[in-house]
Structure 1
């Protein structure tokens, strides 16, 4: 990792003892013993990707699921039954701290809404658990920094759910970019056009659904009356809990843009967009956005659009490395090279050949067994780097101006942009800090 990238994700303070958990559990006595035993996994937040992650991890023969946790008892009961039907008996929890206190859990999956990732991951690390945490890693730049510090302080194995990093065709595409055959690359485009994402109709506040611990669901987010628009999947379209498509899909596509260009910190960021498709619906985050990251001799451009599938190169998502000799385009289905006239030969579509999520989960478990952080395909430093990069795009949009990152000070040159480095915490919760 370059010194620039280290500085980009380094923590500026020292992680304080995390509320409710004060000491790390001792490590297994020997590496040999650890390699032989089953890895006992608990999953926290199991309605969506957390459930997909758990099922992927359960494909590994050395894994045993011992615990499930969700603030929605209805979801917890449903998932517990689904596992029981497979002969897997688990203990259920509504409060994640009770699961973290269990001595029957070695590693946890965090599949909660984004605004909970930081607190749960730092406490899990302090409790001696290894962690598979969903993307984006954190809901702010400061959260990402705190999470990197926690993983380091407690020496835990932490994999971020950037599962495309485990897919062969994505790695092959980046390897081709690095050959230089595309010639000078002056622009990289990354995008997500999401036709499935329709308008969210405005709904009135409603009673909290039976079985839901809504106060615990809110956690550090601003106290608000319950509204179904903000619950479960749709939380990602509200600033209190997430960052819209910029962080939801941007962390996947922009991750490979950065890898292909071996890029770290941008010189400047500017963004423009808004609610152009659905101006009067309930969502807060922009349904249409263009973000430009400036580097020394190339730009990276992000764009997204809800309700439209017709993205660049006929793909609804992807990354395009635009070089003088040709353009390489990669998405989840494969990669190809489109030549610029006669300057190079075309490369026909190289289709995907594997299941990235299953491979990513297996990579995590193997790293837990070996205690080798360097074997992780998406270590926490990488997850923090791309999550911070995406957060910068949102900050540029929210300030409405071109912003500049000061690498030495680890802050922006613009005061209003610095106000968005840390997400506000409420209801007695505080951002984990180091001391």
Structure 2
């Protein structure tokens, strides 16, 4: 079960499959040639937030076209159809994603629905013969992630997970510097998201379902509850029925690079402490303040998040810091730098980002689809599952209030309370398909 940098060399092949990060950095449209290609017809499911952003990034590629949109909120669906029409793009609208998947006019789908829907929709899309670009986190439970990996392999589909930082040059350069050994022995990696924009979510009463919203379909496998605006659209992130709070919202991004930098896979143990310290009486369920420690043999990875505060470590509201004996490398979405430990090494001045990660990630997906080559993907389903499971472990440690130990062979914690949280609780007749 132990995974350290020392034994990493012996398991590098397995790690490469899990993390799925390449060694080259193509430009967004480097794969484009003068030879005409058949356009890849894209359908998008869940188009209110990141699903819409993902779709638009994919449509920048000249070999793509959008043919279908789906959303359970007709207000959103009609708005997006109108926006595309204004750009000369005519699409068909669907309220049920299975009708979109049945369309012969769709080759690949974008899944931008709330987290609790990712698993079923991704598996159904693969079974329908569609390639998939699915938003992060891949799944809303450890069991879901495992099933999604099986589905991608069983149906032999191209599946990219929307962790677009994996396609950015400056993040890759930062990891390359970490791997160079110039920082000396690294004993601690910090990853964090301090979100000053996150204010209190005031408690609101249940209310009638808004006109045009198919609320039963929105709930899907989640527990049946009266409609409440606090749980709908963007705010779903802060309720355990649908998501995992900042740990799985931002943690999958930052912790992903923490693990890539350390060539780390499974932690020995996980413990977490936090709570609703900033807004104890608001509507959210997930913690607004959290510290989580993932223990490995010779280093720790520490996650921190805090709502309502921007003053994070090293003066950054998000990032990853690799703290070595000779210096510390700090990287976030703006760039990276190395801060020397006294006179033990030379500083590396701030290296600013030079590209658009989302556009690159979308182009990477299209290239893999065109060439039918999963090895080209910067974040294949195995990599998305790896970091989603890792983040879920942090949430399970928090929710149980225990130090927990993962048994990789048996896929459990040997703790009844923690093991109950490995599998998402499905309701309303839904179940993860047998694969």
TM-score range, shorter chain: over 0.9
1:408 is paired with a residue whose SS is coil
2:299 corresponds to which residue? Answer: 298
TM-score, with length taken from structure 2: 0.93
Find the aligned partners of 1:81 and 1:153 in 2 and give their Cα distance: 37
- SS of the equivalent of 1:322 reads strand
CA positional deviation for 1:5: 5.0
Aligned-pair CA distance for 1:415: 1.5
Corresponding residue of 1:211: 212
Deviations 1:23-74 (A, max 9, x none): xxxxxxxxxxx98210000000000000000000000000010000000000
- Contact in 1 for aligned 2:269/2:404 (Cα 8 Å): yes
Give the direction of change, closer, same or farther, for the CA distance of 1:164–1:7 in structure 2 (3 Å limit): closer
Residue in 1 that maps onto 2:6: none
Q: Distance in 2 between matches of 1:40 and 1:88?
A: 12
Question: Alignment partner of 2:110: what SS?
Answer: strand
Instruction: Give me the whole-angstrom Cα distance separating, in 2, the residues matched to 1:179 and 1:263.
Output: 16
Change (3 A) 1:6 1:415: farther
- Give me the whole-angstrom Cα distance separating, in 2, the residues matched to 1:290 and 1:3: 32
Shift of the 6–343 alpha-carbon distance from structure 1 to 2, 3 Å rule, reads: closer
Q: CA deviation at 1:2?
A: 4.1
2:430 aligned with 1:421: no
Match of 2:260 in 1: 259
Judge conservation of contact 1:204–1:227 (CA < 8 Å) in 2: yes
Three-state SS of the structure 2 residue aligned to 1:404 is: coil
CA spacing shift, 1:114–1:282, aligned 2, 3 Å:
same
Q: Structure 2: 5+ residue runs without aligned partners? A: 1-10, 20-34
1:101-123 deviations in Å (ceiling 9; x for gaps)? 00000000000000000000000
Cα deviation for residue 6 of structure 1 reads 8.9
SS of match in other structure, 1:350: strand
Q: CA deviation at 1:402?
A: 0.1
Q: CA RMSD in A?
A: 1.4
1:56 is matched with 57
Say yes or no: does 1:232 pair with 2:233.
Answer: yes
CA distance in 2, matches of 1:349, 1:222: 47
Q: 1:240 to 1:35 in 2, by over 3 A?
A: farther
Map Cα deviations across residues 217-241 of structure 1 (whole Å, 9 max, x no partner).
Answer: 0000000000000000000000000
Unmatched 5+ stretches in structure 1: 10-33
Cα distance change of structure 1 residues 35 and 188 upon mapping to structure 2, 3 Å threshold: farther
TM-score by length of 1: 0.93
Shift of 1:414: 1.3
User: Any idea what SS the aligned residue of 1:116 has?
Assistant: helix
| Paired residues of 1:53 and 1:109 also in contact (CA < 8 A) | yes
